[in-house]
Amino acid sequence: MALTSELEDYSTQQLFHVLAVDDSLIDRKLLEKLLTVSSCQVTCVESGDKALEYLGLLDNLDNDSTSSFSLSSSSQQEAMKVNLIMTDFCMPGMTGYDLLKRVKQKSSWKDVPVVVMSSENVPSRINMCLEGGAEEFLLKPVQLSDVKKLQPRLLKSLNYNNNNNNASKRKAAAREPSERRPILKSLHCSVNM
């Protein structure tokens, strides 16, 4: 378990910061617990709009006082240190896929890994997210084993923040097979033909 000890050694110097986005309070709490146990700092928000606001990507043209989410300067500094975004796919308003697309369009956030989660194993949805730039697609409920499988990506993201060279590393990295990873039957069939 050298990887785990390497992550723990690194976490004493800098906490890995995950932005968790889910409209379900239960799923947010579960994700927060799993990530905290894995030595991550976690910020939870309940919608794609709140995530964009936290990241400083929400276009607030109307400055009304109805916003229930305001960032202090220390929170804005923490948002700048987000190393991974984990989002539910199916949320009211902005979906996880919409959030993924918005994050990947902005140059300041395009290299931050995004993991999409869903309780539904829909191959077209999984493929759409992976082609749209998602680092991984996890089936819910997320388990500790899923979070542990993300550790290599956590280290790569931390290395990117230090080396500013994440794009080439992500392309060179091979995806690990997983019994919990959704199977893309439509892609699998076309490869075997």
- Which pLDDT band, with edges at 50, 70 and 90, does 160 fall under? low
Nearest to 20 by CA among 107, 146, 108: 146
pLDDT attached to residue 179 = 54
Task: Judge whether 54 and 19 are in contact, CB under 8 Å.
Answer: yes
Task: Judge whether 43 and 81 are in contact, CB under 8 Å.
Answer: no
189 token code pair = 């069939």
pLDDT attached to residue 161 = 57
Nearest to 139 by CA among 83, 187, 88: 88
Q: Where are the domains of the chain?
A: 2-59+68-192
- Tell me the average pLDDT across 68-91: 70
Nearest to 78 by CA among 106, 40, 49: 40
List the beta bridge partners of residue 93.
none
pLDDT attached to residue 15 = 75
Tens of pLDDT, residues 87-128: 999 999 999 999 999 999 987 888 899 999 999 999 999 999
CATH topology of domain 2-59+68-192: Rossmann fold (3.40.50)
DSSP letter string over 140-173? SSP-HHHHHHTHHHHHHHHHHHHHS-HHHHHHHP
- Which pLDDT band, with edges at 50, 70 and 90, does 10 fall under? very low
The chain-wide mean pLDDT, for the chain, equals: 76
pLDDT attached to residue 58 = 77
pTM of the predicted protein model = 0.70
